[in-house]
Amino acid sequence: MALNEMKFEFKAENPKSINKGWSHFGVVGSGDMEILMEKMDLNGSVQVKIVTPVTGFDNVWGMVMEKFIRSSNLGDVYIEINDNNATPVVVSMRLRQALADANKQEEEVDEDA
Amino acid sequence: MLKWDELQKANFTDSNARARAYGLVDKGTFTEFVSPKDKLSSPHLPVLGEAIEFDDGIVTGVGLIGKRPIFVVSQEGKFIGGAVGEVGGAKMVKTIKLALRAYEDVKKEHPDSYEDRLPAVVISFETGGVRLHEANAGLLAHAEVMDQIQDARGKIPVITIIGSKVGCFGGMGFVAAATDVVIMSENGRLGLTGPEVIEQEIGKDEFDAGDKALVFRTTGGKHKYIMQDCNFLVADKIGAFKTQLDEVMKIPFNEIEGYRRIGSLKLVEEQLELVKKAVEIAPKDSKDMWKYFGNENPESLTNMSYDEFMKSVKRRERICK
Amino acid sequence: MEMEQTMIGRGRDAIDMIFDDSSVQENEIGNYQFDSEIGPGAVVGTAQLEGQAVTFIASDAQAINPRFNVVYFGIIGLEEAYKMALSVYHTIEADKDKPLEQKRAIVLIVDTPGNGPGKVEEIMGMNKSTGSYQLALAEARKAGHPIVAMVIGRAISGAFLCHGLQADHILSLAKNFGTMIHVMPITSISRITKIDIERLEELSKGNPVFAAGVDFFYKLGGVEEKVEKVEDMRSLIKKHIDEIRALKVAGNFEKLGPWGRGTLGDERGGRTSRKVVMKLMDAQYEAVAEKYLNA
């Protein structure tokens, strides 16, 4: 039973980390997923951990993540994903959205409020 | 996530639990406790092969409304229907406990002006109650939440928000009823037994769970507003709930008890009178009660816009106030 | 283990077994006299336990409510829950001027399969009636009344929350009496989670968190003590009342009730995440408290 846990590590060319120290995006609804990105000194690499009830797609997950990391030149980030049967379209969309969110400036929080 | 100003304009129904939590307090004031970064997900779900979420489906934290610390619990209906397990339950319980701790701290630090800084608890419910995958722990957590709500009596207000798709049912249905003030939108539903179970119990002829209009008439915001089971009905925007919360924060604390529907001998007596009415009227439908409370054409209320409804509706007269 | 004769459906028999002979005064608490027509599924009143007055609250599984047809077999209906709440408030009222040492105990005899599920119930707000009873019990507990729940039969889900889980201590007849404590039977959990029953039963051996039964609730701290013989109910209830009273007189309220059972669940190794979560929240609150207390 248990959940399927996958771990990957990739290194893009000219890697660049995210703006925020950490960033979270998404909800683990049915057919959806959440992504946690943490800035971390990983010698330019990106480490990925995926936890999902789905089995049999580990290689595909690896390819999708590699493509995402290389195409966005991501580095020095630790990514954790909790998935619940997200479809390919949702996976791609959530990764893009999560990265955009992680690269926003730190929220302009009015500390004196 | 959207910026705070945009959150105010967002539909409450479509927003996620975190967006609601940020938007229900003043701009830029929300600090999350046990956030996704802490990765305290349920240890019980993986064993059963069920997907986990870093926040276990409940966002908790503290923000401000004016000078008042607002302790927020916001349930996420998209994650296992918002059902409450050990971790999420502990987050709810502890949030109220922290609010009570803040109450003591504020009294100590501001003995002369603590009422201006009185903490409050705001719970946005979106749940069917106990999470079956960890049912026993979830059930025990419900009892703890109820215990904390009673602890808060006479000290700080506890306010319910319901405006989401899942609504608030099961054990959390009576937790919500036990809070001081209930704010709903017409999309919100509040009850104990969900429509499917009622259909199962009394038959499809009596109650068709697929009849959306019937389901909303029975437990939806408009019905609860007429029955006085919800104090305020607002539009389906995070900002509308926030504005109403701002107003509730202006109510002097010694008047808060007056907004309750249960929680004292007098209130139970009032509710028992209402049950006697139910026997007398024998409602076949919520509309029978609406009519009894003076709405001549109850059918017309169901399709009215929010503004029209608020202008035309007649509500049950409260005995205790 | 030998099966014992079940107490399911025998709430009234339990009342006779537990309290002093011919001491039961149904529908009377303090100066208040209940309308005997209201809420026939709930039995409330005053009795003596070793010479001391206690309030008892039980379900009558043999009764039907002629006005609300979902109420039979011990279901707690709209009238029943409000009647139960009234009995608690009148108990508080009766002893309001007495010191902690003399606040009368409340004994909940638990055998209920559920809260009233119906259309009229939802229209009128069944959640309020069961909620009101829980608030009343919590108030009485905090006011100093020792509250003991004695599970003799069925303690199911929301009905157990309503009638049982707000007590200071919970006792339960052991499982060879056919006692049922659960949210859902394992067959239903299997249907909903789509996991085989055999697999669930296997898993439940290592993790008490979802399985049905007294022993699992015991491990989670949801039951303080198991009762092996019906003849022991009386003396053990008395023993727990005395223990609870002593703790209250000493000001140790936090060791009792739902919060106390949280601690017990951790000690028994059944609920260990709860504490981790709460400890972290304390630390995170402390880190920002200054900003929120002095805004």
DSSP state letters, B90-113: HHHHHHHHHHHHHHHHHHHH-TTT
Across the interface, do A24 and B28 touch by the CB < 8 Å criterion?
A: no
CA angle A111, A113, B6 (to 5 degrees): 95
- B136, B85 in Cβ contact below 8 A? no
Residues of chain B in contact with residue A101, where contact means CB-CB under 8 angstroms, are 1
Phi-psi region of C30 (alpha: psi -120 to 50; beta: other; left: phi over 0): left
Q: Give the residue carrying structure tokens 């008395």.
A: C238
Residue C66 lies in a domain: yes
Across the interface, do C195 and A1 touch by the CB < 8 Å criterion?
A: yes
Residues of chain A in contact with residue B45, where contact means CB-CB under 8 angstroms, are 3
> What residue spans define the domains of chain A?
4-102
- Axis crossing angle, helix C11-18 with helix C232-249, rounded to the nearest 10: 70
If one counts the domains in chain C, the total is 1
pLDDT at position C188 is 83
Amino acid in position B255? E
What pLDDT digit, counting tens, does each position of C112-122 carry?
Answer: 999 999 999 99
pLDDT at position B155 is 98
Q: Of the candidates B245, B253, B267, which has an alpha carbon nearest to the alpha carbon of residue B320? A: B267
Per mean pLDDT, which range of A43-47, B139-143, C197-201 is the poorest? Answer: C197-201
pLDDT at position C194 is 82
Across the interface, do B62 and C38 touch by the CB < 8 Å criterion?
A: no
Q: What are phi and psi of A3, to 5 degrees?
A: -95, 155
pLDDT at position B310 is 97
Q: Token pair for residue B125?
A: 């419910």
- C103, C63 in Cβ contact below 8 A? no
- C76, C41 in Cβ contact below 8 A? yes
Q: What are phi and psi of B190, to 5 degrees?
A: -135, 130
pLDDT band with cut points at 50, 70 and 90 for residue A111: very low
Residue B66 CA: distances (Å) to CA of A88, B107, B118, B250, C167: 44, 17, 11, 10, 38
Across the interface, do A1 and C295 touch by the CB < 8 Å criterion?
A: no
Q: Token pair for residue A49?
A: 């951990």
**Could you report the predicted ipTM of this complex, rounded to two decimals?**
0.97
d(C-alpha C91, C-alpha C98), whole Å = 12
Residue C228 in this model has a pLDDT that exceeds 60:
yes
pLDDT band with cut points at 50, 70 and 90 for residue C1: low
Across the interface, do B37 and A27 touch by the CB < 8 Å criterion?
A: no
Task: For chain B, give the percent of residues with pLDDT over 90.
Answer: 92
Closest alpha carbon within chain C to B223: C123
Q: Token pair for residue C188?
A: 């239903």
Chain A residues with at least one Cβ partner in C under 8 Å: 1, 111, 113
Across the interface, do B51 and A3 touch by the CB < 8 Å criterion?
A: yes
pLDDT band with cut points at 50, 70 and 90 for residue A9: very high
Across the interface, do C292 and B69 touch by the CB < 8 Å criterion?
A: yes
d(C-alpha C164, C-alpha C113), whole Å = 12
pLDDT at position C3 is 82
Phi-psi region of B154 (alpha: psi -120 to 50; beta: other; left: phi over 0): left
pTM for the complete prediction? 0.96
d(C-alpha C239, C-alpha C107), whole Å = 12
Across the interface, do B133 and C89 touch by the CB < 8 Å criterion?
A: no
Question: At B241, which helix (H) or strand (E)?
Answer: helix B238-249
pLDDT band with cut points at 50, 70 and 90 for residue B235: very high
Across the interface, do B262 and C160 touch by the CB < 8 Å criterion?
A: no
Q: Tell whether B133 is within 8 A of chain A (Cβ).
A: no
Residue A112 in this model has a pLDDT that exceeds 60:
no
Residue B17 neighbours by CB under 8 Å, 6+ apart = A27, B55, B57, B58, B59, B74, B75, B76, B77, B124, B126
Residues of chain B in contact with residue C71, where contact means CB-CB under 8 angstroms, are none
Residues of chain C in contact with residue A1, where contact means CB-CB under 8 angstroms, are 195, 199, 203
Question: At A14, which helix (H) or strand (E)?
Answer: none
| E strands present in chain B | 31-33, 58-65, 68-75, 120-124, 158-162, 181-185, 232-234
d(C-alpha C44, C-alpha C28), whole Å = 8
Name residues 23-82 of chain C within 8 A of B (Cβ).
38, 67, 70, 78-79, 82
Q: How do beta strands C25-26 and B232-234 pair? A: unpaired
Q: Give the residue carrying structure tokens 């223990």.
A: C243
pLDDT at position A106 is 65
CA angle C196, C198, C203 (to 5 degrees): 95
Q: Give the residue carrying structure tokens 């954790």.
A: A80
Q: Token pair for residue C57?
A: 């609250």
Q: Of the candidates C208, C178, C222, which has an alpha carbon nearest to the alpha carbon of residue C1? A: C178
Q: Token pair for residue B225?
A: 């507003």
What pLDDT digit, counting tens, does each position of C125-179 carry?
Answer: 999 999 999 999 999 999 999 999 999 999 999 999 999 999 999 999 999 999 9
Q: What are phi and psi of B182, to 5 degrees?
A: -120, 125
Closest alpha carbon within chain A to B38: A36
| pLDDT mean over B46-57 | 95
pLDDT band with cut points at 50, 70 and 90 for residue B135: very high
What is the nearest CA distance from B15 to chain C, expressed in angstroms? 25
Residue B40 in this model has a pLDDT that exceeds 80:
yes
| pLDDT mean over B37-53 | 95
Per the DSSP assignment, residues forming a β-bridge with B174 are none
| pLDDT mean over B44-72 | 97
Task: For chain B, give the percent of residues with pLDDT over 70.
Answer: 100
Q: Is the dihedral of CA B39, B44, B45, B48 positive or negative?
A: positive
Q: From the list C85, C90, C210, which residue is nearest B136 (CB)?
A: C210
Name residues 29-58 of chain B within 8 A of A (Cβ).
29, 35-37, 39, 41, 45-54
pLDDT at position C191 is 84
pLDDT at position A1 is 63
Amino acid in position C243? E
Q: Token pair for residue C208?
A: 């008490």
CA angle B315, B318, B321 (to 5 degrees): 135
Q: What are phi and psi of B32, to 5 degrees?
A: -85, 140
Phi-psi region of A87 (alpha: psi -120 to 50; beta: other; left: phi over 0): beta
pLDDT band with cut points at 50, 70 and 90 for residue A113: very low
| pLDDT mean over B187-213 | 91
Q: Of the candidates C202, C201, C161, C206, which has an alpha carbon nearest to the alpha carbon of residue C185? A: C201
Residue B11 CA: distances (Å) to CA of B7, B23, B186, B190, B231: 8, 11, 12, 19, 21
pLDDT at position A109 is 44
What pLDDT digit, counting tens, does each position of A37-49 carry?
Answer: 999 999 999 999 9
pLDDT at position B88 is 98
Q: Give the residue carrying structure tokens 């997907």.
A: B51
Residue A110 in this model has a pLDDT that exceeds 60:
no
* Chains in contact with A via at least 3 Cβ–Cβ pairs below 8 Å: B, C
* Chains in contact with C via at least 3 Cβ–Cβ pairs below 8 Å: A, B
Kindly give the residue spans of alpha helices, DSSP state H, lying in B29-170.
86-109, 135-152
Residues of chain B in contact with residue A80, where contact means CB-CB under 8 angstroms, are 39, 54
Kindly give the residue spans of alpha helices, DSSP state H, lying in chain A.
58-71, 88-102
| pLDDT mean over B237-241 | 98
| pLDDT mean over B292-298 | 97
Closest alpha carbon within chain A to B1: A101
Q: From the list C199, C291, C295, which residue is nearest A1 (CB)?
A: C199
Looking up residue C84, the CATH number of its domain turns out to be: 3.90.226.10
Q: What is the mean pLDDT of chain A?
A: 93
pLDDT at position C203 is 86
Q: Tell whether C128 is within 8 A of chain A (Cβ).
A: no
pLDDT at position C68 is 96
CA angle B293, B298, B304 (to 5 degrees): 120
Q: Of the candidates B166, B130, B144, B142, which has an alpha carbon nearest to the alpha carbon of residue B44? A: B130
Report helix, strand and coil shares of chain B as percent, to nearest 5.
50, 15, 35
Report helix, strand and coil shares of chain C as percent, to nearest 5.
45, 20, 35
d(C-alpha C281, C-alpha C266), whole Å = 17
Domain that holds residue C180: 11-270
What is the nearest CA distance from B28 to chain A, expressed in angstroms? 5
Across the interface, do B37 and A22 touch by the CB < 8 Å criterion?
A: yes
- C61, C108 in Cβ contact below 8 A? no
Per mean pLDDT, which range of B90-94, C200-204, C289-293 is the poorest? Answer: C200-204
Residue C10 in this model has a pLDDT that exceeds 70:
yes
In the three-class reduction of DSSP (H, G, I as helix; E, B as strand; rest coil), residue B234 is classed as: strand
Residue C5 lies in a domain: no
DSSP string covering C273-289: HHHHHHHHHHHHHHHHH
Q: Of the candidates A25, A38, A27, A36, which has an alpha carbon nearest to the alpha carbon of residue A84? A: A27
pLDDT band with cut points at 50, 70 and 90 for residue A107: low
Q: From the list C157, C258, C275, which residue is nearest B144 (CB)?
A: C258
- Domain B4-190+229-260 in CATH 3.90.226.10? The answer is yes
Q: What is the mean pLDDT of chain C?
A: 95
pLDDT at position B321 is 63
Residue C247 lies in a domain: yes
> Distance between the two ends of chain A, CA-based, in angstroms?
48
What is the nearest CA distance from C175 to chain B, expressed in angstroms? 16
